[in-house]
Amino acid sequence: MATNGTKSAKGSGGAALAVAGASLVALSLLSLCVGEAGLTLGQLWDGLLRRDEFAAMVLWQIRLPRLLVAALVGAALSAAGVVMQAFFRNSLASPGLLGVSSGGTAGAVVAIAIGATATSLWVLPLASIVGASLATLAVVGLARRGASTERLLLAGVALNALLGAVTTYVLSAYERNTQILFWLLGGVEDRTWEHVAMAAPVLLVGALLWPLGRSMDLLALGPREAQSLGVDVRALRRKLLVFSTILSALATAVAGTVGFVGLIVPHILRLMVGPEHRRLVPLSLAAGAAFVVGCDIAGRLVGDLRLGIVTSLIGGPFFLWMLRKTP
């Protein structure tokens, strides 16, 4: 027996999902057309159907993989942000600020440095997951006694510094200096279908998160309260940690450290449709994808600004604004 209020809120959730989906489609088309060789919609169509050889080459070898990687990275990071914020009951928690992305990066570069990534396509994302998991465990351990904002952010500062040092050292020691930029300031240029395949499990994890939305609402208001209302809190928290770690790690494995997406997108969505996770989870996937695709286009239009720089230029001031509002 939903009241009018609940119905209209649900309606706005559906409307927001439609808007996010439409934006994603529009930005995706734009992303495919914009670049060094601009394509018209007609050329785009011919290229997709391989009727225009040049356009087909640009699309199938460069722009489609780049678009899909950007979309998957955005979906992963913003859903990971939503999950971490519910887990820590803190709207500043996100993969970048807590050092989980840095953990994924460190894991990935170590795997590259020791040559393990040559053995299989899946070594890189797995190494990234291992690194991100260690960072997640460290944050959870440090923030165990009530995740106050100070404690969380300080844990993140320490982890980001430590793991950033590991990444920089490994890359400089192994004479892959050109790669440092990619891993520390993420980007989506020169992505291939292999990277799309590596990031594709994001969709599976997103689908697994969907039914947990209601219990995430209860958890976000307190683990003890949630347990008293019938939520198996221990099992739920374990799942949420695993999912958010995998999402952050997969994004990092294919695009390096792209900051602030998991902070900005969930926050704006909460302002638009409220904090209920049954709406936030699907919406964060679509809106996160649209946001990162948009940032990638903006970077290309301004003149090859890396994706990580664009998200940081937007996210840095946004974060400071949020910090001012936090009591």
Partner 1 sequence: MDAAQDALTLHAIDVPGRLSLASLALPRGALVGLVGPNGAGKSTLLQVAAGLLPPGPAGKVRWEGEDLARVPMLDRGRRAAWVPQEAHFEFGFSVRSVVAQGRFAHGDDEAGVDAALARLELAALAERPVNELSGGEKHRVLLARALATEAPLQLWDEPLAALDPRHGLDVLMLARERTRAGGTVVFSLHDLRVAHCLDYVVVLQGGRLHAAGAPDAVLTPALLLEVFRVRAETAPGLTLFLP
Name the segment binding partner 1 (CB under 8 A); options: 28-36, 171-179, 185-193, 217-225: 217-225
Name the segment binding partner 1 (CB under 8 A); options: 45-53, 71-79, 225-233, 248-256: 225-233
Q: Does 144 help bind partner 1 (rule: CB under 8 A)?
A: no
Q: Residue 306 CB, nearest distance to partner 1 (Å)?
A: 33
Instruction: Closer to partner 1 by CB, 151 or 176: give it.
Output: 151
Instruction: Closer to partner 1 by CB, 188 or 236: give it.
Output: 236
Closest listed residue to residue 241, CA positions, set 97, 132, 155 = 132
Instruction: Closer to partner 1 by CB, 42 or 222: give it.
Output: 222
Distance from the Cα of residue 179 to its chain's centroid: 21
Its sign, for the CA torsion 189, 193, 199, 202, is positive
Closest listed residue to residue 160, CA positions, set 305, 304, 312 = 312
In angstroms, rounded to a whole number, what is the distance separating the alpha carbons of residues 221 and 204? Answer: 27
Closest listed residue to residue 287, CA positions, set 302, 266, 305 = 266
DSSP H helical segments within 4-119, as ranges? 4-33, 41-48, 53-57, 64-88, 100-113
Q: Are 209 and 83 in contact (CB under 8 A)?
A: yes
Task: Give the length of the chain.
Answer: 327
Among 28, 90, 105, 284, binds partner 1 (CB under 8 A): 90
Among 15, 228, 316, 317, binds partner 1 (CB under 8 A): 228
In angstroms, rounded to a whole number, what is the distance separating the alpha carbons of residues 109 and 123? Answer: 11
Tell me, residue by residue from 251 to 290, as one string, x for binding to partner 1 by CB under 8 A and - for no binding: -------------------x---xxx--------------
Q: Residue 315 CB, nearest distance to partner 1 (Å)?
A: 21
Which residues bind to partner 1, rule: CB under 8 A?
Answer: 1-3, 5-6, 9, 89-91, 214-215, 217-218, 220-222, 224-225, 227-232, 270, 274-276
